[in-house]
Amino acid sequence: MELCVYTDQDSPRLRYVLAVLFDYWYPLPYRISPPPADLNRTSGPTLWYCQTPPPNACGVIIPAGGFLAVRPIARPAPSILATTISAVQTPQSCVYDNDILAQFFFHLSRYEEYLPFTPDQWGRFPASGSWAAQQGLLQRPWVDEWANTLLAELKRCFPALSIKPPGYQFFPTYDIDLAWAFRERSWGRQLPALGRDFIKGHWKRIPLRFSVLRGLRRDPYDTYDWLLERHRQCALPAYFFFLVGGRGRHDRGISPNRPAFRQLVQRLLATHPGGLHPSFASNRHPWRLNQERDTLAAIIKAPVARSRQHFLILRFPQTYRALLAAGIRHDFSLGFADDTGFRAGTCRSFPWYDLENECTTELLLTPFQAMDVTLRKYLQLTPAEADQRLQTLADSCRHSGGTFCTLWHNSSLAQFEGWDSWVTVYEALMKRESHPEQEAKSGDE
């Protein structure tokens, strides 16, 4: 059964929102049509999106406020920033008081990040500057909740409409910034590092470094076999993103010319999905992105289509345009470094809308909700507090029918340099997500 969207406000923005809702989230045939002059000619499921909806129309009715019309980027009207959605129900209709489709667009397009803001030390848009954080909604997938309500109203008004809600998924992902703590470095890097250990009084690192270099101890960051075994036991996928850029102040990874590094990349990406971790420097020198893409492609002997930004550097629209130009079609960078939560109000994948060019692009965005460094360093949570935060986020994603995506580093699983107790947080998360029904049952008891 086809949904008819009647509108006198057709625009690229409206078509984007409808595509997200009915192509990506709730697969549902639909067509867009001008409002009919005679209501008696309407039949079947209808959604009205008009400046002045017909008073006797049936179906879901949303007043078009004009925000979805193509216009210069400027601060939106207060109605776009409403924190609640209200509607009046009748047996055959649901009339919304505000423009919920415009609100979807504001958050999914990251409209607020095109407006002037105070960046953090890395030039990033901070969580504290977001509308969601200021309204106390950052830890909730509020866009998903509103979308679920909208689709429930369509189903209530038209019971024969076949709507399949999204299913819950868990995506654990890993950034490999530094494949090894001590291994695979030239003496030109080992000696200065050793000197810094002496100067800073890192006495435990010195004998450990020599033990690793002599082959007497496993490198502390070499957590890969342990990690893969956990995924095998839990039957969960793993996504790996590798930093292969050149050396720089903020890019200190292992050289991609090292045979051991190339073998590691090949081994992990041969059996698990993943992609590129574009360097910090690639944001200032776009040519580096193509170079890094080619380096990774040469290692795995396959095209590179996925990415996540190093340092989570994300600037609209420059970052995503550069990724598209480099052939990236799926990015996992949409999340905050300084807080957990839902940067775009959703835990579902959706296409990026280029606001300046007013067009839907081929770049698919999968948001993440929590990063290990955020939990320990930015929020300074204890392992127990972090575990509770992860449980709450996972429950929110599960209830809304989305994807719970986490970001870990191989180094944070090393039980080294302050991460000793955090492996328990990771293992508890993996156990819950591999046996969600059992965990829910034990919680009910």
DSSP 73-126: --PPPGGGG-S---EEEETTEEEESS-HHHHHHHHHTTGGGGS-----TTSPPP
Residues 6 or more apart whose Cβ sits within 8 Å of residue 402: 141, 144, 166, 168, 169, 346, 347, 348
Neighbours of 325 (CB within 10 A): 11
* H or E stretch at 40: none
Q: At residue 194, does pLDDT exceed 80?
A: no
Residue ranges of E strands in 178-250: 239-242
Q: At residue 230, does pLDDT exceed 50?
A: yes
At 416 the pLDDT is: 83
pLDDT, tens digit, for every residue of 287-297?
999 999 999 99
pLDDT, tens digit, for every residue of 425-436?
999 999 999 865
pTM, to two decimals = 0.94
Mean pLDDT in residue range 188-193: 75
Locate the domains of the chain by residue range.
Answer: 3-157, 169-181+219-444
The region of weakest confidence among 114-123, 413-422, 433-442 is 433-442
pLDDT, tens digit, for every residue of 356-375?
999 999 999 999 999 999 99
pLDDT, tens digit, for every residue of 265-309?
999 999 999 999 999 999 989 899 999 999 999 999 999 999 999
> What six digits make up the tokens of 322?
């550069």
Q: What is the DSSP letter of 170?
A: E
pLDDT, tens digit, for every residue of 38-73?
666 667 899 999 998 888 888 999 999 999 998 899
At 38 the pLDDT is: 67
Percent of the chain surpassing pLDDT 90? 78
> What six digits make up the tokens of 375?
């939990």
Mean pLDDT in residue range 15-39: 92
Mean pLDDT in residue range 164-187: 91
What span, in angstroms and rounded, lies between the C-alpha atoms of 26 and 441?
Answer: 29
Q: At residue 442, does pLDDT exceed 60?
A: no
Q: Is 162 helix (H, G, I), strand (E, B) or coil?
A: coil
> What six digits make up the tokens of 419?
């991460």
- Which segments of 272-382 does DSSP mark as H helices, in order? 287-300, 318-325, 372-373
> What six digits make up the tokens of 140?
């909730």
pLDDT, tens digit, for every residue of 305-355?
999 999 999 999 999 999 999 999 999 999 999 999 999 999 999 999 999
Nearest by Cα to 296 from 275, 323, 272: 275
Rg value, the chain, Cα: 24
Fold of 169-181+219-444: TIM Barrel (3.20.20)
| 51 vs 189 pLDDT, higher one | 51
| 245 vs 106 pLDDT, higher one | 106
